[in-house]
Structure 1
Amino acid sequence: MAFPERFSDLPEYAFPRLRALLDHHAPGGSPLAMTIGEPKHAFPDWLGATLADNLAGFGVYPPNEGTPELLAAISGWIARRYGVAHPASGLMVLNGTREGLFNTLVALCPETKAGKRPVVLVPNPFYQVYAVAALAIGAEPVYVPATAATGFLPDYRSLPPEVLDRVAVAYICSPANPQGAVASAEYLADLLDLAERHDFTVFSDECYSEIWREAPPPGLLQVAAARGTDPDRVVVFNSLSKRSNVPGLRSGFVAAGPGAMPRIRQLRAYAGAPLPLPLQRVAERLWADEAHVEQNRALYQAKFRDAAAVLAGHQGLTLPDGGFFLWLPVEDGEAAALKLWRETGVRVLPGAYLARGTGADNPGKGYIRVALVAPQDETRRGLVALRDCLYG
């Protein structure tokens, strides 16, 4: 069976490409993966007991949208974190944010916009699911560079009016993956103003929101509430994966307005898989606890201080405001990743694999993404090896 034509221009997923690049070469030292954003810090030690206390829940079908207790815990966290009273009726539990980032576009994107094929705006580089979701529903993904010249955030306002009038949804990620840039309250307010002017919805991917160096990033719900934006123009996604070091729990949420949420929930009733009840009980407790989040953040902040010390003086290095990646400038990302692997055993991701475009038109070509997820001593070893190999 032929692959659908609408997916023909989609690049291969990043990690199979990386394996093809590196795996037929022997590592030049003890292997150290600094590629995937899989947290390695410990999750709270009470998690196992909470799960064990609720094992009987595996014997029942769980609520599709989330238990009332879990939705209340998420609503409470939003209130504490952003000062926004977002009701439980405007929330739905997800099997990780990737599910929601895809299915919510299916649920909300119209078949036409301004009588034409709808446009979905995607920052470039980007998390691959944004583009796949757009192509799956027959929308046109428009990749907007997020480079040093634009503060590593997409300048959607620079697009021609005829394109903006066709926009149905704009994705934004803050802190950004891979660059770690944080969208300021002013940036988000400007984006909402643009959305109102051209009648589109903003999807905000905020799964790195609790990992920051100096100040907590503002959230779209917070900015929208302050300026009185129509709640149905705003959809926000977040997850416990990075915040609580439980990527295998597959627990996140989507927050939306009163018009949008029934459509999101209706689609999930047919096409989604609800989170098992024992995992919802664990998630409920995780959203209610901030002590482990503060400890986790402190570990990342220590590693960023190490990165600043190890890589000090190297041209182009900027520490990100949020997230746990370094977006390091190199002459060619693929060549740098291959050299680093063959000479040191450190494994990083070429930036071009996270972006759309060929040659110099690919905004990730001159970068590598380095994940600071390993324990501090291993991370420092990897950074020293990277410095000596690529910048020495």
Structure 2
Amino acid sequence: MNPDLALLQPYPFEKLRQLFAGVPPAPTLGEIKLSIGEPQHATPPFIQRALADNLAGLANYPTTQGADALRQTIAAWIARRYGVAPPDAATQVLPVNGSREALFAFAQTVIDRSGGHAKVVCPNPFYQIYEGAALLAGAQPIYLNTLPHTHFEMDWAALPESAWRDVQLVYVCSPANPTGKVMTLDSWKALFELSDRHGFVIASDECYSEIYFDEAKPPLGGLTAAAQLGRGDYRNLVMFSSLSKRSNVPGLRSGFVAGDASIVKKFLLYRTYHGSAMNPAVQAASIAAWNDEAHVRDNRRMYAEKFHEVTPLIAHHLDCRVPDAGFYLWAKTPIADTEFARELLRRKNVVVLPGSYLAREANGINPGADFIRIALVAPHEECLEAARRINDFCLSL
């Protein structure tokens, strides 16, 4: 067996299951599950129809590169959304089966394990796929703490120059999971300068980019930052996007990567062997989804309404605020995050995720400790009811 499998930690939701073992939830209250970032808003009917109307394509093997029409649709969407020249659909865009599998597979393409010193930088707290991808590619993860006193910004200067020399890949998540922080242009500039100096690749996870609260101010993306800083070739940068959150289709498993053509070419080679071609019916549904923004605006409106009403209720007792973007509240707890989550289930039947499960100890601290992640993905009234229960629970502490 691959010995690196022994390095993997249990996934956060496995830890949560163990934490809740033997804990009876409040018997008179229905469960409200806010622990997992699974969109619960309805899938738009036109996407469902596009999927159903193209099942004849199941009789054909799809190509790993995807249909020209899909790549061109994605390239056009990138241009509209990010205000950049359309990337070359043939060389700079590649459909993927959801951003999760692509984020993992990307490290297997990028990492050169021959020297035995490869390092991968990721934010801390973080999406655990980054860590697993690094470990199974033979690299050492380096955790860069994102903390309240720096407004959860990635502090590139916190990593000494000696450590950067062995870095081959940097994962960034903007808007961030779980804090919702959006990287600034200055932060991108500093990261690009480090990449130029040390030659590492940047994987920009932007799967939450379409959940934000001001239609006039969409979150800055990596491609936009690169273009504004004179890096129109997107050298050493690949961004990852997905329809899951944007269009409420997590089960569709559809996304894309876009950026540096030389890296996309190598990633396509890897994926040809990996067997990652997208189902033709899914490609058709994806074209329909990327071509429509009305349903995305409606989706944002529903999240904005929930955040507007829920955040003040929870902030009355727990330190939290509306994030830059995304659908998580990152709330400070007055007791240990694990105890808070366990007792909230027992007394109020509300499920949240302890922040310590999303982070690793680095520089002597676990930056997720004494925080909880609250995913406002449930229907509006359920989120409000959860906020009221959390308030009642906090009053009892």
The C-alpha deviation readout for 1:73-102, integer Å capped at 9, x for no partner, is: 110110001112211121111111011111
Structure 1 residues 326-341: aligned runs within 5 Å: 326-330=329-333, 331-341=335-345
Deviates more, 1:152-161 or 1:138-147: 152-161
Q: What is the aligned counterpart of 1:106 among 98, 108, 115?
A: 108
The C-alpha deviation readout for 1:313-362, integer Å capped at 9, x for no partner, is: 43522221110011110121100000100000000111111111299721
Query: Is 1:116–1:166's contact at 8 Å kept on the other side of the alignment?
Result: no
SS in 2 for 1:172: strand
Match of 1:306 in 2: 309
Q: CA offset at residue 310 of structure 1?
A: 1.4
The C-alpha deviation readout for 1:241-263, integer Å capped at 9, x for no partner, is: 00000000000101121211111
Residue ranges of structure 2 left out of the alignment (5+ in a row) = none
Give the distance between the partners of 1:198 and 1:81, measured in 2 at CA.
Answer: 30
Residue ranges of structure 1 left out of the alignment (5+ in a row) = none
Match of 1:31 in 2: 31
Give the distance between the partners of 1:334 and 1:227, measured in 2 at CA.
Answer: 43
Q: Are residue 242 (structure 1) and residue 245 (structure 2) matched?
A: yes
Match of 2:322 in 1: 319
Give the distance between the partners of 1:224 and 1:38, measured in 2 at CA.
Answer: 30
SS in 1 for 2:189: helix
Match of 1:274 in 2: 277
Query: Is 1:123–1:153's contact at 8 Å kept on the other side of the alignment?
Result: no
Match of 1:14 in 2: 12
Cα distance change of structure 1 residues 100 and 289 upon mapping to structure 2, 3 Å threshold: same
Counterpart code for 2:222? L
Structure 1 residues 3-152: aligned runs within 5 Å: 4=3, 6-28=4-26, 29-84=29-84, 85-89=86-90, 90-111=92-113, 117-152=117-152
Q: CA offset at residue 373 of structure 1?
A: 0.3
Give the distance between the partners of 1:12 and 1:312, measured in 2 at CA.
Answer: 31
Residues matched between the structures, number: 388
Query: Is 1:319–1:326's contact at 8 Å kept on the other side of the alignment?
Result: yes
Structure 1 residues 353-372: aligned runs within 5 Å: 353-357=357-361, 361-372=365-376
Match of 2:204 in 1: 204
Query: Is 2:314–2:390's contact at 8 Å kept on the other side of the alignment?
Result: no
Match of 1:380 in 2: 384
Cα distance change of structure 1 residues 33 and 360 upon mapping to structure 2, 3 Å threshold: farther
The RMSD of aligned alpha carbons is 1.7
Q: CA offset at residue 63 of structure 1?
A: 1.9
Give the distance between the partners of 2:395 and 2:338, measured in 1 at CA.
Answer: 16
Counterpart code for 1:21? L
Counterpart code for 1:74? I
Q: CA offset at residue 171 of structure 1?
A: 0.6
Q: CA offset at residue 116 of structure 1?
A: 5.7
SS in 2 for 1:212: coil
Q: Are residue 217 (structure 1) and residue 219 (structure 2) matched?
A: yes
Give the distance between the partners of 2:275 and 2:176, measured in 1 at CA.
Answer: 26
Match of 1:348 in 2: 352
Cα distance change of structure 1 residues 54 and 354 upon mapping to structure 2, 3 Å threshold: same
Structure 1 residues 119-198: aligned runs within 5 Å: 119-198=119-198
What TM-score does the superposition give when structure 2 sets the normalisation length?
A: 0.94
The C-alpha deviation readout for 1:89-121, integer Å capped at 9, x for no partner, is: 211111110111111111122235xx6611100
SS in 1 for 2:39: coil
SS in 2 for 1:46: helix
Give aligned-pair identity as a percent: 41
Deviates more, 1:211-220 or 1:232-241: 211-220
Query: Is 2:315–2:321's contact at 8 Å kept on the other side of the alignment?
Result: no
Cα distance change of structure 1 residues 273 and 9 upon mapping to structure 2, 3 Å threshold: closer
